[in-house]
Amino acid sequence: MKPNKKAIISWAAVLLCMAVIFILSAQKGDESQKLSDGIIVFSGLEFGSDFVRTCAHFLEYSGLAVLIYNALFQTFGHTKPILSVIMSSAYAVTDEIHQLFVEGRACQISDIIIDSAGAAAGIAALTLLIFIYKKIKRRKQV
């Protein structure tokens, strides 16, 4: 049996995304704060660092869920949206536990909720885009 190259690449993208999240979570509290502050300065907008952090959590896990969705599709040949959200949320839990061991960081249930909401929103948006794509494709065939 020949390995599915698309599945391998897709799972590699999932692992890469998880690694980036892990590296960001391994930053000490003051380093993480400097990164958030740098984003605020770079954007030139008047956002607070809590807003930046919330958006970062939401978007990280939205992206992770979409990557997992694709990897599951490439592996099994059909979609598994709920499993994608569950796997992303499970990683969010492990990420928060990891932060218990990082100086200046903490495990926050609110971050897990934000991460899970981001995962669900990412899958919802992807599902909507796929639905629209299929609708347009059907119209062109008629």
* pLDDT digits 0-9 by tens, 79-128: 899 999 999 999 999 999 999 999 999 999 999 999 999 999 999 999 99
Quick one: average pLDDT of 15-33? 93
Q: Which helix (H) or strand (E) holds 89?
A: helix 81-99
Q: 88 near 119, Cβ under 8 Å? A: yes
Higher-confidence residue of 58 and 140: namely: 58
* Domain ranges for the chain: 5-141
CA distance 71 to 44: 36
Name the token pair of 109. 């249930």
Q: 112 near 93, Cβ under 8 Å? A: yes
Residue 71: CB atoms within 10 A of its CB come to 23
CA distance 107 to 109: 7
pLDDT at 61: 98
Is residue 1 scored above 70 in pLDDT? Answer: no
pLDDT at 2: 66
Least confident segment among 9-13, 44-48, 57-61: 44-48
Q: What is the pTM of this model?
A: 0.90
Quick one: average pLDDT of 41-52? 82
3-state helix, strand, coil in the chain (%, to 5): 80, 0, 20
Quick one: average pLDDT of 46-70? 92
Rounded mean pLDDT of the chain?
92
Angle at Cα 49 formed by Cα 47 and Cα 53, nearest 5°?
A: 110
pLDDT confidence of 35, banded at 50, 70, 90? confident
Decide: residue 83, CB within 10 A, 0-12 exposed, 13-18 middle, 19+ buried: middle
